[in-house]
Amino acid sequence: MVSTPTRPTAARTPAAGSKPGSKPGSKPAGAASPPAGPRPADRVRGWYRGFWSALEGTGKSRNGSTYYLILGSTLALTAIGIMMVLSASSVEAIAAGESPYSAALKQGLFAAIGVFVMFVLSRVNVVWLKRLAWPAIVLAVILLGLVLLIGRSTLGNQNWIDVGPFTFQPSEAAKLALALWMATVLNRKAKLLDNWRHVLVPVVIPGAAAILVLILAGNDLGTAMIVMMILAAGLFFAGVQLYLFGIAGAVLAAGTAFLAITSPNRMCRILSWTGQTCADGSDLNYQSTNGLYGLASGGWFGVGLGQSRQKYSWIPEAHNDFIFAIIGEELGLIGTIVVLVLFAILGTAMYRVVVAQQDLFHRVLAGAIMVWLLGQATVNMAVVTGLLPVVGVPLPFISYGGSALLMSLCAVGVVLSLARAQMEPNMQPKGLFKFGPAGFTKVLRKQAAARSGTQRPAAAPPAPAAKSRAARTAAGSSPAGSTAGRKPGARTPAPKNPARKRS
């Protein structure tokens, strides 16, 4: 047998400067060791994970922070909206011979009704709303059909139905109805969503398709865009395969291009947005241009509340879709940042509610509402700042419109119900009207009291008093599982299991 040759091991000599007897490979005494701590890549990775952990939360908002963030940001945006509607609409109302407070009073009335309904829905179990899904979607389709028959047309869009002194916009109610109906249907077909046919029928066809066709028949492309966002969000949070979104995106892009080319009005808006001139010489970007003038003249702190110049008929319908430009002009960059921060807080809190849901119905409903409100706000601000062509999309909670405000507050009430369910039972707000800073402070006090009660060390047991003979006799005759008369520190015997059989 041939042995394998081995490499001779050379004698290791200690390195220069090392002490005799030290271990081979050890560092000299005077050598500087590399700084201890995480590497930059690990630090960035830790920040990234910490950001998403803080954003998603723990799934159990014990002190109700998510609930109160949604509630506080919604009420703040609604209050800002009423104030800015009063400022933006007063000049045109006076010019028309009306009261300068007429639009603000109507907005305040719908806000009061919406806030009341929001708190009622926040106390309702969301599962109970499933029984309203089919009636709501059928009613929404009927109302959208009535708009085409008896509706009123304004600025080329036929969206409103006159109800006495008020006007109602069924397309706003259709958004909430579609979100609720989609969540109900997708929840029932949860095990079948791997098949594209079950995804397509009946959610896309005929459900969402019927609503989109009726809205587009009224020449309202902006609302149709928001409805498509709601549809995409519902399918995404239901776990539909992602390749279907690519196919749907290509189809929608082709359809949008076809609708833009076949409409001279839409084509002129796109040309005006790119800086070109329309074929008839009209400038449909006039509203957007004056909105940018308003934002630019506001500066850092604005020209002052109520002191806008662009609302003097320079921006048509300044209290509707372009109210964000009036905010930037009167309150400056600081005012617009406040609105952006409030929407960011609302979106973050809603996102924490969505990711904490384990039930498919809850997750789809909350996710569709979140995308609806935040997507609509993003489109409106992008139009005002010139990032998108002009489309008629109001700013949620702020733009003038009773139907939009009422439906938005109802949608927030549904999300508040889910956020309230994440709270500890003893921290949940019970009364319908006990809300706001006082209610939040009370909840924090309850939490602090509960925490101090669990962390307080147990008091030492009192010294045993002299027992009478009768008491000692009673203690001795106590049952086996009783702790009466037991010495402190003695172990309690485990109870016997009568169902256990001996081997």
Q: Is the dihedral of CA 51, 53, 59, 61 positive or negative?
A: negative
- 12: amino acid identity, one letter: R
Mark 480-493 as b/e (b = at least 16 C-beta within 10 Å): eeeeeeeeeeeeee
Q: Taking each helix axis as running N to C, give the angle between helix 170-188 and helix 360-384, from 0 to 180 degrees, rounded to the nearest 10.
A: 150
* CB-CB contact of 383 with 321 (8 Å): yes
Q: Which residues pair with 162 in a beta bridge?
A: 167
Single out the residue of 410, 8, 371, 12 nearest to residue 176, CA to CA. Answer: 410
Cis peptide bond upstream of 8, omega within 30: no
Mark 448-471 as b/e (b = at least 16 C-beta within 10 Å): eeeeeeeeeeeeeeeeeeeeeeee
H, E, C per residue of 328-386: HHHHHHHHHHHHHHHHHHHHHHHHHHHHCCCCHHHHHHHHHHHHHHHHHHHHHHHHHCC
Q: What does the block give as tokens for 312? A: 């003097």
Determine the pLDDT at residue 82.
Answer: 96
Single out the residue of 399, 320, 310 nearest to residue 91, CA to CA. Answer: 310
Nearest-angstrom CA–CA distance, 352 and 340 = 18
* CB-CB contact of 328 with 294 (8 Å): yes
Give the 3-state secondary structure of residue 161.
Answer: strand
H or E segment to which residue 159 belongs:
strand 157-163
State the Cα torsion 247-248-249-250 to the nearest 10°.
50
Determine the pLDDT at residue 455.
Answer: 54
* CB-CB contact of 322 with 291 (8 Å): yes
State the Cα torsion 15-18-24-29 to the nearest 10°.
-130
Model-level pTM? Answer: 0.76
Determine the pLDDT at residue 5.
Answer: 47
Cα 164 from chain centroid?
Answer: 34
Q: Which residues pair with 160 in a beta bridge?
A: 152
Determine the pLDDT at residue 267.
Answer: 80
* CB-CB contact of 353 with 412 (8 Å): no
Give the 3-state secondary structure of residue 153.
Answer: strand
Nearest-angstrom CA–CA distance, 294 and 296 = 5
Per-residue tens of pLDDT for the chain, all 503 residues: 444 444 444 444 444 444 455 445 455 555 555 555 667 778 777 777 776 666 655 555 556 789 999 999 999 999 999 999 999 999 888 988 889 999 999 999 999 999 999 999 999 999 999 999 999 999 999 999 999 988 887 766 788 888 777 788 999 999 999 999 999 999 999 988 888 888 898 999 888 999 999 998 888 888 999 999 999 999 999 999 888 898 988 988 888 788 778 777 778 778 778 777 676 656 667 788 888 999 999 999 999 998 999 888 888 878 999 999 999 999 999 999 999 999 999 999 999 999 999 999 999 999 999 999 999 999 999 999 988 888 889 999 999 999 999 999 999 999 999 999 887 776 677 655 454 455 556 666 776 777 676 555 545 555 554 444 444 444 444 444 444 445 555 555 555 554 454 44
Q: Which residues pair with 153 in a beta bridge?
A: 158
Mark 23-62 as b/e (b = at least 16 C-beta within 10 Å): eeeeeeeeeeeeeeeeeeeeeeeeeeeeeeeeeebeeebe
Name 145's Cβ contacts closer than 8 Å, sequence gap at least 6.
214
Q: Is the dihedral of CA 233, 239, 242, 246 positive or negative?
A: negative
- Measured CA angle at 339 (ends 98, 101), to 5 deg: 10
